[in-house]
A and B are shown apart, each in its own frame.
Chain A
Protein backbone atom coordinates (compact mmCIF):
# COMPACT_ATOMS: atom_id res chain seq x y z
CA UNK A 1 0.00 0.00 0.00
CA UNK A 2 2.73 2.43 0.96
CA UNK A 3 4.60 1.69 -2.23
CA UNK A 4 1.43 2.18 -4.23
CA UNK A 5 0.95 5.62 -2.67
CA UNK A 6 4.60 6.48 -3.28
CA UNK A 7 4.23 5.67 -6.96
CA UNK A 8 0.87 7.35 -7.42
CA UNK A 9 0.58 10.68 -9.27
CA UNK A 10 1.43 13.70 -7.13
CA UNK A 11 -2.19 14.73 -6.53
CA UNK A 12 -3.12 11.31 -5.19
CA UNK A 13 0.14 10.89 -3.32
CA UNK A 14 -0.32 14.19 -1.50
CA UNK A 15 -3.93 13.45 -0.65
CA UNK A 16 -2.85 11.46 2.41
CA UNK A 17 -1.19 14.57 3.82
CA UNK A 18 -4.40 16.55 3.21
CA UNK A 19 -6.43 13.89 5.02
CA UNK A 20 -4.20 13.88 8.09
CA UNK A 21 -3.93 17.66 8.12
CA UNK A 22 -7.73 18.01 7.96
CA UNK A 23 -8.04 15.57 10.86
CA UNK A 24 -5.35 17.42 12.83
CA UNK A 25 -7.12 20.75 12.34
CA UNK A 26 -10.47 19.27 13.31
CA UNK A 27 -9.21 17.44 16.41
CA UNK A 28 -6.70 20.05 17.55
CA UNK A 29 -9.05 22.04 19.82
CA UNK A 30 -10.20 19.18 22.07
CA UNK A 31 -6.80 17.49 21.74
CA UNK A 32 -4.95 20.53 23.08
CA UNK A 33 -7.39 20.68 26.00
CA UNK A 34 -6.57 17.05 26.84
CA UNK A 35 -2.82 17.56 26.60
CA UNK A 36 -3.01 20.71 28.71
CA UNK A 37 -5.12 18.95 31.35
CA UNK A 38 -2.69 16.00 31.44
CA UNK A 39 0.24 18.40 31.71
CA UNK A 40 -1.34 20.15 34.72
CA UNK A 41 -2.20 16.82 36.27
CA UNK A 42 1.47 15.77 36.01
CA UNK A 43 2.59 18.91 37.81
Chain B
Protein backbone atom coordinates (compact mmCIF):
# COMPACT_ATOMS: atom_id res chain seq x y z
CA UNK B 1 0.00 0.00 0.00
CA UNK B 2 1.23 3.48 -0.87
CA UNK B 3 2.29 5.13 2.42
CA UNK B 4 0.46 8.25 1.30
CA UNK B 5 -2.75 6.33 0.63
CA UNK B 6 -4.15 7.25 4.04
CA UNK B 7 -3.78 10.93 3.14
CA UNK B 8 -5.42 10.40 -0.24
CA UNK B 9 -8.30 8.51 1.38
CA UNK B 10 -8.73 11.26 3.95
CA UNK B 11 -8.78 14.01 1.31
CA UNK B 12 -11.18 12.03 -0.86
CA UNK B 13 -13.82 11.82 1.82
CA UNK B 14 -16.95 13.68 0.69
CA UNK B 15 -16.80 16.03 3.67
CA UNK B 16 -13.11 16.85 3.06
CA UNK B 17 -12.79 17.03 -0.68
CA UNK B 18 -14.27 20.53 -1.28
CA UNK B 19 -11.87 22.05 1.25
CA UNK B 20 -8.96 20.04 -0.21
CA UNK B 21 -9.71 21.43 -3.67
CA UNK B 22 -9.77 24.97 -2.35
CA UNK B 23 -6.50 24.51 -0.46
CA UNK B 24 -4.85 23.01 -3.55
CA UNK B 25 -5.76 26.13 -5.50
CA UNK B 26 -4.29 28.41 -2.82
CA UNK B 27 -1.14 26.28 -2.66
CA UNK B 28 -0.61 26.90 -6.40
CA UNK B 29 -0.92 30.65 -5.83
CA UNK B 30 1.47 30.44 -2.89
CA UNK B 31 4.02 28.52 -4.97
CA UNK B 32 3.87 31.12 -7.74
CA UNK B 33 4.20 33.90 -5.19
CA UNK B 34 7.27 32.31 -3.62
CA UNK B 35 8.91 31.70 -6.98
CA UNK B 36 8.41 35.31 -8.04
CA UNK B 37 9.79 36.43 -4.71
CA UNK B 38 12.84 34.23 -5.29
CA UNK B 39 13.62 35.77 -8.71
CA UNK B 40 13.12 39.31 -7.46
CA UNK B 41 15.32 38.66 -4.46
CA UNK B 42 18.03 37.21 -6.70
CA UNK B 43 17.76 40.23 -8.99
CA UNK B 44 18.08 42.67 -6.09
CA UNK B 45 20.96 40.77 -4.49
CA UNK B 46 22.99 40.65 -7.71
CA UNK B 47 22.25 44.30 -8.46
CA UNK B 48 23.54 45.16 -4.98
CA UNK B 49 26.75 43.20 -5.63
CA UNK B 50 27.25 44.91 -9.01
CA UNK B 51 26.91 48.32 -7.36
CA UNK B 52 29.26 47.43 -4.49
CA UNK B 53 31.83 46.12 -6.98
CA UNK B 54 31.60 49.27 -9.12
CA UNK B 55 30.37 47.17 -12.05
CA UNK B 56 26.90 48.66 -12.38
CA UNK B 57 28.02 50.82 -15.31
CA UNK B 58 29.12 47.79 -17.26
CA UNK B 59 26.59 45.14 -16.26
CA UNK B 60 22.85 45.13 -15.51
CA UNK B 61 20.51 42.48 -14.24
CA UNK B 62 17.80 41.66 -16.72
CA UNK B 63 14.53 40.49 -15.20
CA UNK B 64 11.62 39.79 -17.49
CA UNK B 65 8.72 40.72 -15.21
CA UNK B 66 6.01 40.17 -17.78
CA UNK B 67 7.24 36.66 -18.52
CA UNK B 68 7.46 35.82 -14.85
CA UNK B 69 4.03 37.16 -14.06
CA UNK B 70 2.42 35.16 -16.83
CA UNK B 71 4.28 31.92 -16.33
CA UNK B 72 6.46 31.88 -13.26
CA UNK B 73 7.36 28.25 -13.86
CA UNK B 74 8.18 28.49 -17.52
CA UNK B 75 11.77 28.99 -18.55
CA UNK B 76 12.51 31.60 -15.89
CA UNK B 77 15.76 33.30 -16.68
CA UNK B 78 17.51 36.24 -15.07
CA UNK B 79 20.80 37.34 -16.50
CA UNK B 80 23.77 39.57 -16.05
CA UNK B 81 23.70 41.57 -19.27
CA UNK B 82 26.38 43.96 -20.52
CA UNK B 83 25.30 47.61 -20.50
CA UNK B 84 26.20 47.87 -24.19
CA UNK B 85 24.03 45.05 -25.44
CA UNK B 86 23.06 46.09 -28.98
CA UNK B 87 25.19 43.52 -30.79
CA UNK B 88 25.27 39.77 -30.31
CA UNK B 89 26.75 39.09 -26.89
CA UNK B 90 26.90 36.58 -24.08
CA UNK B 91 24.74 36.89 -20.96
CA UNK B 92 25.32 35.18 -17.61
CA UNK B 93 21.90 33.77 -16.75
CA UNK B 94 20.47 31.81 -13.87
CA UNK B 95 17.59 29.72 -15.10
CA UNK B 96 15.41 26.74 -14.45
CA UNK B 97 13.82 24.48 -17.00
CA UNK B 98 10.36 23.03 -16.68
CA UNK B 99 9.03 21.76 -14.40
CA UNK B 100 10.63 24.23 -12.04
CA UNK B 101 9.93 22.21 -8.92
CA UNK B 102 11.74 19.14 -10.24
CA UNK B 103 14.77 20.29 -12.21
CA UNK B 104 17.79 21.96 -10.66
CA UNK B 105 18.79 25.55 -11.24
CA UNK B 106 21.45 26.15 -13.85
CA UNK B 107 23.87 28.95 -14.51
CA UNK B 108 26.37 29.58 -17.26
CA UNK B 109 26.62 31.57 -20.44
CA UNK B 110 23.99 32.10 -23.09
CA UNK B 111 23.93 33.93 -26.42
CA UNK B 112 21.67 36.96 -26.50
CA UNK B 113 19.96 35.49 -29.56
CA UNK B 114 19.98 32.27 -31.47
CA UNK B 115 23.19 31.73 -33.42
CA UNK B 116 23.53 29.07 -36.12
CA UNK B 117 27.03 28.27 -34.90
CA UNK B 118 29.57 29.62 -32.44
CA UNK B 119 31.53 32.49 -34.02
CA UNK B 120 35.20 31.69 -34.57
CA UNK B 121 37.30 34.26 -32.70
CA UNK B 122 40.45 34.00 -30.57
CA UNK B 123 38.58 35.67 -27.67
CA UNK B 124 35.97 32.90 -27.73
CA UNK B 125 38.64 30.21 -27.76
CA UNK B 126 40.20 31.83 -24.69
CA UNK B 127 36.82 32.01 -22.94
CA UNK B 128 35.99 28.40 -23.83
CA UNK B 129 39.27 27.27 -22.28
CA UNK B 130 38.50 29.22 -19.10
CA UNK B 131 35.01 27.65 -18.93
CA UNK B 132 36.38 24.18 -19.46
CA UNK B 133 38.72 24.80 -16.55
CA UNK B 134 35.64 25.71 -14.46
CA UNK B 135 33.94 22.42 -15.46
CA UNK B 136 31.12 24.04 -17.38
CA UNK B 137 29.49 21.82 -19.98
CA UNK B 138 28.80 22.93 -23.55
CA UNK B 139 25.17 22.73 -24.61
CA UNK B 140 23.82 24.06 -27.93
CA UNK B 141 21.77 27.17 -27.32
CA UNK B 142 22.80 27.66 -23.68
CA UNK B 143 26.34 27.17 -24.83
CA UNK B 144 27.89 26.46 -21.43
CA UNK B 145 26.16 25.64 -18.22
CA UNK B 146 26.51 24.12 -14.78
CA UNK B 147 23.85 22.71 -12.50
CA UNK B 148 23.33 24.03 -9.00
CA UNK B 149 22.76 21.29 -6.49
CA UNK B 150 22.45 22.60 -2.96
Contacts and interface: CB of A to CB of B under 8 A. Distances in A.
B40 to A, nearest CB: 12
A2 B35 contact: yes
A5 B105 contact: yes
Nearest to B144: A27
Contacts of A20: 46, 92, 94, 107, 148
A23 B91 CA distance: 12
Contacts of A30: 123, 126-127, 130
| Dominant secondary structure at the B interface | mixed
Given A6-B35, A23-B146, A31 B109 contact: yes
Interface in A18-33: 19-21, 23-24, 26-27, 29-33
Interface residues of A, number: 33
26 contacts: A1-B100, A1-B101, A2-B100, A2-B101, A3-B100, A3-B101, A6-B38, A16-B148, A19-B107, A20-B148, A21-B49, A23-B134, A23-B146, A24-B80, A24-B92, A27-B127, A29-B130, A30-B123, A30-B126, A30-B127, A31-B90, A31-B92, A32-B82, A34-B89, A36-B123, A41-B121
